[in-house]
Structure 1
């Protein structure tokens, strides 16, 4: 009889992005070293590549990250949100909707953070907390009697649960044959970090232009994160411009309020799509973040959905472990599916509906009247801010 040479771990996480690392830290906080948690990702062996993306983290996500000791000092509070609906050639862009940046309890409803700073802080915390960081991809997995057999970096592991935090193209989800509902938007997100002469005052600005939403989101040191969703053909031309010409196009859309604008970091372009997995669980497998759902960025809720996955799954798994139950059992995973399905599907439908409403010029009058009515309803605006905070 051949001896079992596999290495035993309790929970394996495929993917060392912000979602996977936050989940590892949350499980560590809940269970300490009682359960062995390992994060697998070949990127752990490489220096971080330049990244122009930033995340808007809602108040509930901030509380989660503070609780695991990973809240980055660079995070910048959002003091408010101004929304306009205009054409590029319009001289004036009246603000149709203004939202305060504080919840009814007075705390910021969201913070902005560069993804590179966020990943660096999470990696530092994971190393300090003794999370096993494995610089290899999980290339095979198969459920057996009471455990999963995993292959990563040529080594064999046995685990009770495999969590897919490996992105929208999730190899784990593919091997598990979990179907998805997905489609591509006729838009690409152009992202960049910008510096500007005039202070932003912590206010996020979102212009709904015919090509898509153009957002300037406040960062520290008088910088803003650009998230410019544009039709794919136009975005391709914009992405091909040199830095000077690109900044000129940005300035034409941002308006004069920011003064002189310059690049302060990397640029990037990302095709936009909608994705919703038919199930968030498989045999001893759970999907979190982009592996389970991808929504349009116009509401800035993609990473917040992922953090709510993390909080839910960590709590359910920790509860099962404390009760001496199998953390990868069908009952444990069914509880996670129930906890996350409704909010995820609802927010996905809502952001897709907003994309379609603001993507049609013929609906301009209707949506401007709607935003104006919301702007004149303080109670409704407070509820919107409270919902966006996640509290």
Structure 2
């Protein structure tokens, strides 16, 4: 089969690889009908996430048709079922799964001993990501093996296009969880840093959850226009001061809730000293992440407020102003998304036409075009916001 394969920094190729097979009774095999390139895939592309190996199949946003089912999953799935595959692999039986904390499942990470040494406790296995999260083959491929498939799936109805349902596996529940973590009240201002696909979903989720106003912060006009169309007030940080503008919009109080939808590769104006410091630290392996957005959120957030962080971070951040967090009484909520905790509700929203997540799609192409589209997505060329690939 064809698959997009990681060969090193900025080197992803469309290769012929071995078809997946049932390895455990709880497995299923799907024929992938649609998959997508995610912003967090760029962290792998730039080699900022540790423990990638040449030959790893990438991709963690995918859906398709079940073509084979192991005996242990036969009660939940059958051949021909149409499913979205969440990026988090979970057993459904451990203590964390029973609590609904699927992204920290205690059983699905097959490199658990390795991850325990790095993180203290391993997280769940993730598709198409690093060997710290199990080293599972990803879904930017023609076929995918789904472990724990009796639990790790989202059944979806026929008659709704792939592009509308695909993002139930990651960016829609990720944006929703980011907003839910904010405990949004009707009097709240919610500021969202980053208007990529997750930021766009967080913006619309905050509006659906009843925020008084939502502010979108980015530098790309097409992203800011999309955010504004969704009901947000845009701030272009390349043209104006984020801090001054936020103070203007909140009568000097600052936003009650702040969402970091950027993560490890935050970009600021090259006039800002953080840009030089963070990039030098990262290049010299003194810090794994660029935390400018985190610093700015901590500084502007109203005392007693909440910082929600769906953006992916890989390890160590430099000059993290924890004294501000403590003295302002800020609450930080973060984590990989517990996808299936939210998907029943989100699927109903789609069916009731409260939201159509396909609004983020700007590019659709064949899987073979994936390597070129990684570069286009990275460089933000051709107004690229979200790429869907058709295996």
TM-score range normalised by the length of the shorter chain: under 0.3
TM-score (norm 2): 0.26
Structure with greater contact order relative to length (CA < 8 Å, sep ≥ 6): 1
TM-score (norm 1): 0.26
Greater fraction strand: 1
